[in-house]
Structure 1
Amino acid sequence: MKRTSTLALTAALLASAAPLGLATMGAGTAHAAARTYFVSPSGNDSNSGTSTQAPFRTLQKAADSVEPGDTVSIMNGTYSERSAGSNVLTIKRSGLPGAPITFTAHPGHHPVIHPVKAWNGISVHGASYISIKNLEVKGNNAALTLAGAERESKKGDPTYNTNCISVEQDRSTGALSHHIEVTGNEVHGCAGGGISAIDSDHVTISGNHVHGTSWYAVYATSGISVLTPRDVGGGDAGTYKIRITGNRVHDNETKIKWEKCGCYSDGNGIIIDTLKGDADHPAYSGRVLVANNLSYDNGGSGVHSYKSQHVDIVHNTAYLNGRSTRMESYANIFAHDSTDVRLLNNIAYGRPGQATNSKSRNVDVTYDYNIYFGGKAPEVQGPNDVIADPKLTKAGTGADADFRLTKGSPAAHSGMPFAAVTTDFTGARRAGGAPDRGAYGFGAKNSGILGSASETASPGRQSAAPAGSGQSAGSDPAASPGVQAGDGTDSGSGLKPHSGSGPLAETGGSNPALPLSIAAVVLALGGGLLYAARRKRS
């Protein structure tokens, strides 16, 4: 066989693997062996960065050096922006399926990313396959005042508008951020948003502690927000592509008027915003899961779907949200102007006189198996919703608040099985049969470690109907919950399982190990054929 024929065959084999994601490598070909870069405030950007004895000094130097599969290991110290108006860390280089780029705390270390006059502590800027974990991002709220913000906060000035972590589009190139994981971080004290994903896709925000953000910005931010996501690689309402799970979110509030309307707005714990599209953004086709979150003492809502579609808000606990006196009180957990949204197995503990939920401009929205207490009577109530004291261990807004269920709680063993949520806030397996409502499973340990809330990859329907659900024992387990029309019923979205696995595939990607394995086989086969051809010619 001629060498040119051998190379052509190898190229053809590689081309045949293109549907599996091997044809284009994005940021470039992955290393033969992934590298770890180290960063320390005592380092030097002239160093190699590849050992703890010769670390880089700045996070940006590491971010500009990485290739797919690399890790940036951040050592003890405080990291701030080099100049006002920049970001502390801007991530533009991308990983690959099965070879994400990871930014994490060095083992045993507790680095602090501290934006002072930066637009963002961390900005994922048109990059893909990125993991940000185990970091603290601490804003500059402690050095700011409300009086100063009321006098000086304005567009174009990052001082009062700093976001902690932002996942966004690179508007200069049009590149969208996608396949992003933000997990296990403490995010707090930023004048702007806590964790936001704008014009992005395949995003997982899990196990984070987000508090004390959004106070002074003029942009109507929130603790965790997903705004106008964009479909990357297609999407359907039966596949979760965005997951907000296992987060503790509190004390986020807007105290400055939104520049767009001259009014107070947002400051929510968690908001899923404008998935139905608008004049500038197409509708989003994928599905969003918001599960196992604790959201309390926020200025706006606890969990909120606004002008959105294909959202499941399941097994969350919301307590005394809507604290802002600057605007009309938001409900704890609700949907507004939304379509195909399911709010199931939640606990919403409201303030006196506070709205409990909403039926405003909703179509095909289900409220069921929720527990409401405090506040006004629900505007819409599913047949299995309950109005009762959920009997939480030590409900409150302080550091010692404990939202676990106590003995005799009506939330215990009374929910609807939901196949996509198999664990609770702590990461413990949920009991079989009728699960517990809210973020905690009954008997859960009050660990100081936030749960990863690892759900199954499928949005699938409930596996079995509990007694009194209105669903017969012989009915299709993929059918919609047994809620009567007029009660905010979900008419069914044709959810189907999907086989994603691996650390990033749960956001809707395919198994990353498969294409890499095929690549190895293809390259080995091509190399073998070339070797055989050379032997024949010699």
Structure 2
Amino acid sequence: MRRTQVYGTASMLAVLITLPGGAAHAVGTRQATTFYVSAYGSDSNSGRSVTSPFRTIQRAANLTNPGDTVNIMNGTYGDTSTEGVVQITRSGAPGRSITYQALPGHRPVLKPVTGWNGIVLIGASHITIQGLEIKGDSDNITLAEAKKGASAERPRFNTNCINTREDRVTGALSHHLVIRNNYLHKCPGAGIGVLYADHVLIEYNRVHSTSWYTVFATSGISVYEPVDVAPPAPGQEYKVVIRNNISYDNENKVEWIVCGCISDGNGIIVDDTKHEQSDKRPYAGRILVANNIVFNNGGSGIHSYLSRDVDIVHNTAYLNSRSPALSNPNIGAWDSTNVNILNNISYARPGKATNFTYRNVNVRHDYNIYYGGLPPQVRGPRDLIVDPQFVSPSTDPASANFWLRPTSPAIDSGVTFRAVQRDYFGTWRPYGAAHDRGALEHVR
């Protein structure tokens, strides 16, 4: 899309980038299969054409093999088990991922209500999930109901949009996952919760209004205790990448069952790669968090917690830590090691933390812009405390516009970071004389 088209609209946040759909193709010695699912189909159909689609995504998931594609057509898809709408247990293979996606031109909605998840990956690997909408049932839950019914055994108040977990029978862990271009909202639990996984790409997702009613301290996007399943590919610098996402209005409103306190509800969190909360070995992979726009979340916009080897670069955070119970950093690190926090714009909520220094070791802050909130606990030599001059900042997603005005001090004042060569909308960095700070390059 042309940036000028988006700049002229009331909101740049309502736009999802639509990626091309998949198709059947030759994979190895077998012809990959494309399955079709329709709200008006039948699980007794062949599922091999748009005229003979399955009724449930689960039926297709039970038949997939490496290289297959599941095309989901218009309609609403509800729970098929206590696990939720669909549980994915069958894996693809290197170079032959299994893809779950909206059929091009269609807008299916997965609607978990009584199950634990919209989509859950249980030890499944080489999986791509793209172009889907998952809408939870939070509109039909009140805070009073959630507090009264709060329980680790009641999925209705804890439903995640997308979740991964280990296979509790085989011990298999998910790896080589792509979660791309999905619209995830109103799930009482996590938006995207990636647990015990490896080689993960999370990009171009819009995640909002999640985590309100769960007792599990979830967030909009969370990577929790990743595990080294496979070594990096030759030349691969990052094993986990979280980029080009928009995450807002995620908040924990019910106490975390572990402490009886409000926690998390972050826009994006990299959580415990050191594995200090488990007996697993610390994660050896490096993680990149880049080009994300996070605003009006209950906890942090973005932060690294109990983690190491994380690069938080070129993000835009606006008025996070809205929960009265929290003063999390707008963008920052907490009890972390070997973290780079560079080229970000952090516009903090009045009276709330800008960043943290608590038990950090070798955490570098530089080339960031800070504005509002409490004074930064740490400043790099080229960090600025100055108004970034957004075009029209707002916590209202219908009107929020975080483009930079032509006079913004963020323009041409960042540092080159080799791993982030484009901005949120795909514009090459630098567009001008030098990299701009934040998620969006200013286009003259």
SS at match of 1:88: strand
Pick aligned residue for 1:68 from 66, 69, 73: 66
Q: CA RMSD in A?
A: 1.4
Query: Is residue 2:316 matched to residue 1:317?
Result: yes
- In the alignment, what sits opposite 2:426? 427
Q: Would you say the 8 A contact 1:314–1:345 is kept in 2? A: yes
- In the alignment, what sits opposite 2:361? 363
CA distance in 1, matches of 2:197, 2:184: 20
- In the alignment, what sits opposite 1:240? 238
SS at match of 1:132: strand
Give the counterpart letter for 2:350 in structure 1.
P
CA distance in 2, matches of 1:303, 1:31: 44
Pick aligned residue for 2:149 from 149, 152, 156: 152
CA distance in 2, matches of 1:188, 1:66: 27
SS at match of 2:187: coil
- In the alignment, what sits opposite 1:339? 337
- In the alignment, what sits opposite 1:441? 441
Runs of 5+ consecutive residues of structure 2 not aligned to the other structure? 1-26
CA distance in 1, matches of 2:57, 2:232: 34
SS at match of 1:148: helix
Give the counterpart letter for 1:440 in structure 2.
L
Q: Would you say the 8 A contact 1:30–1:67 is kept in 2? A: no
Query: Is residue 2:130 matched to residue 1:126?
Result: no
- In the alignment, what sits opposite 2:307? 308
CA distance in 1, matches of 2:29, 2:307: 40
Pick aligned residue for 2:110 from 110, 113, 116: 113
Give the counterpart letter for 1:104 in structure 2.
Q
Deviation at 1:136, TM superposition (A): 0.1
CA distance in 2, matches of 1:381, 1:238: 31
Query: Is residue 2:379 matched to residue 1:381?
Result: yes
Q: Would you say the 8 A contact 1:31–1:67 is kept in 2? A: no
SS at match of 2:127: strand
- In the alignment, what sits opposite 2:346? 348
Deviation at 1:384, TM superposition (A): 0.4
Q: Would you say the 8 A contact 1:122–1:164 is kept in 2? A: yes
Q: Residues 187 and 193 of structure 1: is their aligned pair in 2 closer, same or farther, counting only changes over 3 Å?
A: same
CA distance in 1, matches of 2:430, 2:271: 32
Please report the TM-score for the alignment, with normalisation by the length of structure 2: 0.91
- In the alignment, what sits opposite 1:223? 220
Deviation at 1:86, TM superposition (A): 2.6
Identity of aligned residues (%): 53
Q: Would you say the 8 A contact 1:221–1:266 is kept in 2? A: yes
- Cα deviation code 1:404-437 (max 9, x no counterpart): 1111100000000000000001111112652000
Q: Would you say the 8 A contact 2:165–2:196 is kept in 1? A: yes
Give the counterpart letter for 1:93 in structure 2.
R
- In the alignment, what sits opposite 1:401? 400
Deviation at 1:43, TM superposition (A): 0.9
Q: Would you say the 8 A contact 2:275–2:283 is kept in 1? A: yes
Q: Would you say the 8 A contact 1:238–1:287 is kept in 2? A: no
Flag the structure with higher strand content.
2
CA distance in 2, matches of 1:31, 1:133: 26
Q: Would you say the 8 A contact 1:70–1:101 is kept in 2? A: yes
CA distance in 1, matches of 2:247, 2:311: 18
CA distance in 2, matches of 1:39, 1:31: 26
CA distance in 2, matches of 1:30, 1:266: 44
- In the alignment, what sits opposite 1:448? none
Q: Would you say the 8 A contact 2:160–2:190 is kept in 1? A: yes
Alignment of 1:236-275 (within 5 A): 239-275=237-273
CA distance in 2, matches of 1:274, 1:107: 38
Q: Residues 193 and 431 of structure 1: is their aligned pair in 2 closer, same or farther, counting only changes over 3 Å?
A: same
Structure number with higher relative contact order (C-alpha < 8 Å, ≥ 6 residues apart) = 1
User: Comparing 348-357 with 247-256, which one deviates more in the overlay?
Assistant: 348-357
Give the counterpart letter for 2:139 in structure 1.
A
Q: Would you say the 8 A contact 1:206–1:246 is kept in 2? A: yes
CA distance in 2, matches of 1:121, 1:283: 29
- Cα deviation code 1:43-80 (max 9, x no counterpart): 11111100001001110010011111110000000001
Runs of 5+ consecutive residues of structure 1 not aligned to the other structure? 1-28, 445-538
SS at match of 2:126: strand
Give the counterpart letter for 1:135 in structure 2.
L
CA distance in 1, matches of 2:318, 2:351: 14
- In the alignment, what sits opposite 1:280? 279
CA distance in 2, matches of 1:364, 1:435: 24
Give the counterpart letter for 1:414 in structure 2.
S
Deviation at 1:286, TM superposition (A): 0.4
- In the alignment, what sits opposite 1:92? 89
- Cα deviation code 1:461-497 (max 9, x no counterpart): xxxxxxxxxxxxxxxxxxxxxxxxxxxxxxxxxxxxx
Deviation at 1:112, TM superposition (A): 0.1
CA distance in 1, matches of 2:159, 2:405: 40
- In the alignment, what sits opposite 1:170? 167
Deviation at 1:31, TM superposition (A): 5.6
Runs of 4 or more, structure 1, over 6 Å off, are none
Give the counterpart letter for 1:413 in structure 2.
D
Give the counterpart letter for 1:55 in structure 2.
P
CA distance in 2, matches of 1:342, 1:43: 50
- In the alignment, what sits opposite 1:20? none
- Cα deviation code 1:336-376 (max 9, x no counterpart): 00000000000000111111111110001000000000011
Deviation at 1:328, TM superposition (A): 2.7
- In the alignment, what sits opposite 2:17? none
CA distance in 2, matches of 1:30, 1:252: 43
CA distance in 2, matches of 1:277, 1:219: 18
SS at match of 1:61: helix
Deviation at 1:235, TM superposition (A): 5.4
Q: Would you say the 8 A contact 2:80–2:86 is kept in 1? A: no
Please report the TM-score for the alignment, with normalisation by the length of structure 1: 0.76
CA distance in 2, matches of 1:180, 1:125: 12
- In the alignment, what sits opposite 1:182? 179
Q: Would you say the 8 A contact 1:153–1:159 is kept in 2? A: no
Q: Would you say the 8 A contact 2:198–2:230 is kept in 1? A: no
Q: Residues 152 and 124 of structure 1: is their aligned pair in 2 closer, same or farther, counting only changes over 3 Å?
A: same
Give the counterpart letter for 2:305 in structure 1.
Y
User: Comparing 419-428 with 232-241, which one deviates more in the overlay?
Assistant: 232-241
CA distance in 2, matches of 1:224, 1:185: 12
SS at match of 1:151: helix
- In the alignment, what sits opposite 1:39? 37
CA distance in 1, matches of 2:240, 2:78: 30
Give the counterpart letter for 2:298 in structure 1.
G
Deviation at 1:281, TM superposition (A): 2.1
